Amino acid sequence: MAKRQDDARERLIEGTSQLLWERGYVGVSPAAILRRSGVGQGSMYHHFQGKADLVLAAERRSAELMQQELTAVLTAPGSALDRIAAYLLRERDALRGCRVGRLVADPEVVVSDELREPVRETFALLHRLLVRVIEEGRAAGEFAPALDAEETASTLAAVIQGGYALARAEQSVEPYERAVRGALALLRASAPDAG
């Protein structure tokens, strides 16, 4: 019995996570969650207090998975440029956008500190990891000493999130890919021996 309940809880979280990515908070109804997860209404209210509680669990799951991916890519062996390139070039669905970042476009999420927190935590981790890699790259002579790690980390995160917006606006991955290539070209140009 406990296994079936755990399975229903997991299916609710996964179904809600997928719907959030596709439709955002406003577009996710309890009926859609139940259809997507294949569980009954009783299971939903057995495990969660309501839509906001379930959405928060789904957000936390998506954020946790993304944080694991970011950590794996940005702490892997290799040069700083290689790790940043691996982050920028990792496989993504540019037309769907960021599973976590897309949530801040949703007015219901933006006004709720609790619903916004998993997104904030994920971007804070990304920023810390990028700053560390950029600082390591400067120390190793890969990047110019004057390259500001904090500002460059924010720029790289903005390239990805902005690239998603450009791709969605055009319904083409090309604007996203151009933004990524441009960011990498700027990093390579900042190398002390690039001039």
Domains of the chain, start order? 59-189 (1.10.357.10)
Structure tokens at 179: 């933004």
Question: How many angstroms separate the first and last alpha carbons of the chain?
Answer: 67
Q: What is the pLDDT of residue 125?
A: 98
Structure tokens at 111: 């006004």
Query: Please, which residues have CB within 8 angstroms of residue 37's CB and are 6 or more apart in sequence?
Result: 8, 11, 12, 14, 15, 16, 44
- Name the residue among 122, 121, 126, 124 with its Cα closest to residue 73: 126
Q: Is 183 exposed, middle or buried (0-12, 13-18, 19+ CB in 10 A)?
A: buried
The amino acid at 129:
L
Structure tokens at 36: 């997507």
Q: What is the pLDDT of residue 138?
A: 96
Structure tokens at 127: 């920023």
Q: What is the pLDDT of residue 107?
A: 83
Q: What is the pLDDT of residue 3?
A: 56
Return the number of other C-beta atoms located less than 10 Å from residue 174's C-beta: 11
Q: What is the distance between the alpha carbons of residues 193 and 195, in angstroms, rounded to a whole number?
A: 6
Return the number of other C-beta atoms located less than 10 Å from residue 95's C-beta: 13
Intervals of the chain under pLDDT 70: 1-5, 194-195
State the pTM of this model.
Answer: 0.87
Query: Please, which residues have CB within 8 angstroms of residue 146's CB and are 6 or more apart in sequence?
Result: none
Long-range contacts of 145-154 (CB under 8 A, 24+ apart): 145/192, 147/190, 152/187, 153/126, 153/127, 154/127
What's the length of the chain?
A: 195
Q: What is the distance between the alpha carbons of residues 83 and 124, in angstroms, rounded to a whole number?
A: 18
